[in-house]
Amino acid sequence: MNPNQFLAGLLLGSAVAVPFSAHAADAGDPAAGMKLNAMCIGCHGIPGYHTAFPEVYHVPKIGGQHAAYIVKALQEYKSGNRSHPSMRAIAAGLSDKDMADLAAYYAADASKTAAK
């Protein structure tokens, strides 16, 4: 490997490491998420639950879901890009940290339900 290849590799490695370390700083706290999950239990903690508002549909299990997906979904409910009225109202009261904490809690274990 010549010095130019080494320098290019070092610079590329540094550029890739920065976004990963910044992303790690945004990781939620599962213990804090556990304290916030009371708002989730009523729907996501009941196996086989179907909601009747605004229409009848199966409520998804969120335990084991990827944390980034949970955060993105909550952000979309908060912004109105997802239209479920109950979820929009819940997400409206969540900070970015709250969303990350809830996501970390539910992503931690695939067998976890909102009731745990």
Q: Tell me, what DSSP letter sits at residue 50?
A: E
For residue 101, is it within any domain?
A: yes
For residue 112, is it within any domain?
A: no
Q: Which domain holds residue 95?
A: 27-107
pLDDT at 11 over 80: no
Using pLDDT thresholds of 50, 70 and 90, give the confidence band for residue 60.
Answer: confident
Decide: 49 and 43 in contact? Cβ < 8 Å. Answer: yes
For residue 62, is it within any domain?
A: yes
Least confident span in 16-30, 80-94, 98-112: 16-30
CA–CA distance, 98 with 91 (Å, rounded to integer):
9
21-38 tens-digit pLDDT: 334 446 899 999 999 999
Q: How many domains does the chain have?
A: 1
For residue 12, is it within any domain?
A: no
For residue 57, is it within any domain?
A: yes
For residue 2, is it within any domain?
A: no
